[in-house]
Structure 1
Amino acid sequence: MATSPDPDKTAAPGMAARAAALRLLDAVLRRGLPLEGALDKAARGLDRSEDRALAHAIAAAVLRHLGDLDAAIDGATKQRLPDDAKARFVLRIALAQTLLLNTPPHAAIATALPLVDGGPRKLVHGVFGSLTRAGVTLPDPPNLPADVAERWAEAWGDEVVAAAQRSSAALAPLDLSLRAVSRTAEWAERLGAVSLAPGHLRLPAGTRITELDGFEEGAFWAQDIAAALPARLLGSGEGKTVLDLCAAPGGKTMQLVAAGWSVTAIELAESRIKRLKANLARTKLVATIRLGDALTYAPAEPFDAVLLDAPCSATGIFRRHPDVLHRVRPRAIVEMAERQRAMLARAAGAVKPGGTLVYAVCSLEPEEGERTIQAFLAAQSGFRIEPPTDVELPTGIAAAPEGWVRILPGILEAEGGADGFFIARLRRN
């Protein structure tokens, strides 16, 4: 697909944001880049934060409803457009604005046609007009990509697939972890939030964290309720040491420091360490930070606990990052699982006798969760699963019979849902 027009050379109001949305979708769908990671480059040249937000909103809406948008487009064309055809991309953008973002059809098509940039403008105009005149609608909730739905149905059943469809249709709420757990009730009242657990607050989707009272003073940070559980399972750390592997952006590091642990945080990328340091500085929390690879890091002394929140497919965070369902392929899941097993074996060597090892992934793939832990326990006779107690988990989340925690779509649905996660707490003999 050719690049979109230079936004500086487009005259129609709003064209710059639409051109950025096109570049963003091209980065995700054709080049396999993460949505958030591609945003800065795609939105380069946009002077207003509103335009940047609009470009992101359009791209995210397309990704949440991609299969259904394509089905509508294919139903209105005599010959199927190639997946990477610019006309298909532009039609997706125009239809998503009209059907999902309440943009009037005339405005959607006026800002879409210049994006075709020498291509089949008449085709795009005709297909869009035909669909809007016919009153086209999209399924509610949207369908998942067919390969994802099939994979999750086999692993978890049709009810979980249906729940995933429902959760993909709605924007996720803003979850906060508090620096001072003892002030949960105070901050809940102050911010008008609800709490699902001590030290946790939940606010409506669309809430801007940087505009909240308490943000500048570092009273909290954004962290989904599911993502907060791995560190919670380590409890209080007064007088004890913990190794936090793959630590950035720092949510779990900050939890551990706030709980009294002496934290050594390891991160592979210098850019991610910069973000970790910024988050620690804002919250006025202190940890030892090391540049290193979880596959090779060798501490001089073992730790009382090790937390490995391993790099993974991240399919569990599709509510906030709809791109993952279109970028992650089965082969990548297998490769990630192999790397996770190597990381877990390495992490085990850093745990003191009698110490704790917590393994977590924000993935809905059994290969990265259940099967990784089963393989580890089969190879490591010196570790056993230590199931969490009911007190350690929020109401609505329970340990599996095997002793680990598996959070699936549908869990906490009435409260706004949670990211997909797998967490296992292990005790070294």
Structure 2
Amino acid sequence: MPQRQPTTAAQPAGLAARRAALRLLDAILRRGEALEAALAHAAAGLEDRADRALVHAIVSATLRHMTDIDALIDSATRQRLASDAKARMVLRLSLAQALVLGTPGHAVVATALPLVDGGPRRLVHGVLGTLLRKGGALPDPPNLPKDVAGRWKGAWGGQVLAAARSLLSARAPTDLTLRASEDTAAWAERLSGTSLLPGHVRLSDAPDIAGLEGFSNGSWWVQDIAASLPGRLLGAGAGRHALDLCAAPGGKTMQLAAAGWQVTALDASERRLERLQENLTRTGLTAEVVTADVLQWAPEAPVDAILLDAPCSATGIFRRHPDVLYRAGPRHIAEMAELQAALLDRAAGWLRPGGRLVYATCSLEPDEGERQIERFLAAHPEMQAVAIDPTALPNSVKECAPGQLRLLPGMLSDAGGLDGFFIAHLSRSESD
């Protein structure tokens, strides 16, 4: 077993995890990396799973409350620290530990000061001491970054913005999609969960997924209920051919295969497709798996259905991945919208007459949803909206326009909420 470093005055307990947390926060805020993707590199050398979990917990808490933590820091400094200054980064992590995670003040200070060796230790010590002595508290729910709050309030209004703040502070439930929807009641009982739709089970806590009954034999997979709706709209496949574009890690591919579609799953990432193949193997489902760029590849013949879960800003999954609040700005959103338009235009030509297209993004940005489909339909008169079957939706979720769903913070709030999504259900004219 790996030996822990002895605790000394120069190496207080837990310092290695705090150094890793500082590296991770820097990767997210300065280099725009995703939290989950950057974690392995930032935490390299930490052998204990508990230490790696601590790194994740510290950085996640920091990101969820960073707007309010920054306000506290600014209240205790004469001159405003630069947003990317190491002193501010260390103070952010330290205050998140003290005010969110409940770490004792002496432990916070002991692990903070070595992080600014050669830097403004006195400043960090003074600010921490001042704020911890005051016994300050953070707003509950936390405030969103100002630019995000402004965009979402302008797009959806104050009520949705308030709901988004509440989601940011609450632990998201764990949703499962079942391989066999007829077993819904049985699995809900076995796993002590609830169901909002046939083929769905919701767990209120965050269990050890791999240790749950039904995981090893592939009876279900983890998938937020919002992410399951695009696949549900296509219904039973009856052996017809469907393309799942940008398919990895495979939740929608498995849905379509379980519903009887002959699926071709396409993704440009070979590494991510390995995970998709592992999921198919575990569940006993089959699909043709293709590594290719949608903008360079084409099917041999027109297909019956296409599911395009397009690359996007991912702002709709902020409650699980708070780093997106700081990585997805207007420039990134515009770049994603341009890519989505190209993918939609290319995919439209692959449908047979009467074939259906489901477009989805896990985004709360209208440019990646409503405006994208408005542009697409104007450019493709052969495509039209298809009414969405209300039985495929959870109670209280309804079309916002013909063939469109807009899933927003506040929906299903009594049941634990859901991720933000935009979904459009379209078909190609029979006569073109």
**Same-fold call, TM > 0.5?**
yes
> Does the aligned pair in 1 maintain the 2:7–2:13 contact within 8 Å?
no
> Post-superposition shift, 1:11?
2.4
> Does the aligned pair in 2 maintain the 1:8–1:16 contact within 8 Å?
no
Matched position secondary structure for 2:367: coil
Distance 2:328 2:162 in 1: 20
Q: Which letter does structure 2 place at the counterpart of 1:32?
A: G
Aligned to 1:92: 92
Matched position secondary structure for 2:305: strand
Matched position secondary structure for 2:21: helix
Q: Which letter does structure 2 place at the counterpart of 1:164?
A: A
Alignment partner of 1:167 is 2:157: no
> Post-superposition shift, 1:401?
3.1
Counterparts of 1:258-337 in structure 2, within 5 Å, are 258-337=258-337
Distance 1:54 1:14 in 2: 9
Aligned to 1:393: 393
Matched position secondary structure for 1:367: helix
Distance 1:84 1:8 in 2: 30
Counterparts of 1:178-193 in structure 2, within 5 Å, are 178-193=178-193
- C-alpha offsets along residues 256-303 of structure 1, whole Å, 9 cap, x if unaligned? 111111000000011111111111111111110011111222111111
Counterparts of 1:103-122 in structure 2, within 5 Å, are 103-122=103-122
Distance 2:247 2:296 in 1: 15
Aligned to 1:211: 211
Aligned to 2:376: 376
> Does the aligned pair in 2 maintain the 1:188–1:195 contact within 8 Å?
yes
Matched position secondary structure for 1:193: coil
Distance 1:26 1:428 in 2: 47
Distance 2:51 2:6 in 1: 11
> Post-superposition shift, 1:7?
12
Aligned to 1:66: 66
> Does the aligned pair in 2 maintain the 1:145–1:325 contact within 8 Å?
yes
Alignment partner of 1:245 is 2:254: no
5+ residue gaps, structure 1, are 1-5
Q: Which letter does structure 1 place at the counterpart of 2:207?
A: T
Between 107-116 and 35-44, report the one with greater CA deviation.
107-116
Distance 1:379 1:230 in 2: 23
Matched position secondary structure for 1:344: helix
Q: 1:8 to 1:42 in 2, by over 3 A?
A: farther
TM-score, length of structure 2 as denominator length:
0.96
Distance 1:276 1:7 in 2: 42
> Does the aligned pair in 2 maintain the 1:406–1:422 contact within 8 Å?
yes
Distance 1:291 1:127 in 2: 52
Aligned to 1:132: 132
Q: Which letter does structure 2 place at the counterpart of 1:269?
A: S
Alignment partner of 1:36 is 2:36: yes
Matched position secondary structure for 1:187: helix
> Post-superposition shift, 1:175?
0.7
> Does the aligned pair in 2 maintain the 1:35–1:321 contact within 8 Å?
yes
> Post-superposition shift, 1:114?
1.3
> Does the aligned pair in 2 maintain the 1:7–1:45 contact within 8 Å?
no
TM-score, length of structure 1 as denominator length:
0.97
Matched position secondary structure for 1:227: helix
> Post-superposition shift, 1:396?
2.1
Aligned to 2:226: 226
Q: Which letter does structure 1 place at the counterpart of 2:94?
A: A
5+ residue gaps, structure 2, are none
- C-alpha offsets along residues 166-200 of structure 1, whole Å, 9 cap, x if unaligned? 11111211111111111111110000011111111
Between 74-83 and 9-18, report the one with greater CA deviation.
9-18
Distance 2:249 2:16 in 1: 30
> Does the aligned pair in 2 maintain the 1:359–1:423 contact within 8 Å?
yes
Q: 1:22 to 1:286 in 2, by over 3 A?
A: same
Matched position secondary structure for 1:293: coil
Aligned to 2:403: 403
Q: Which letter does structure 1 place at the counterpart of 2:139?
A: P
Distance 2:217 2:51 in 1: 29
Matched position secondary structure for 2:366: coil
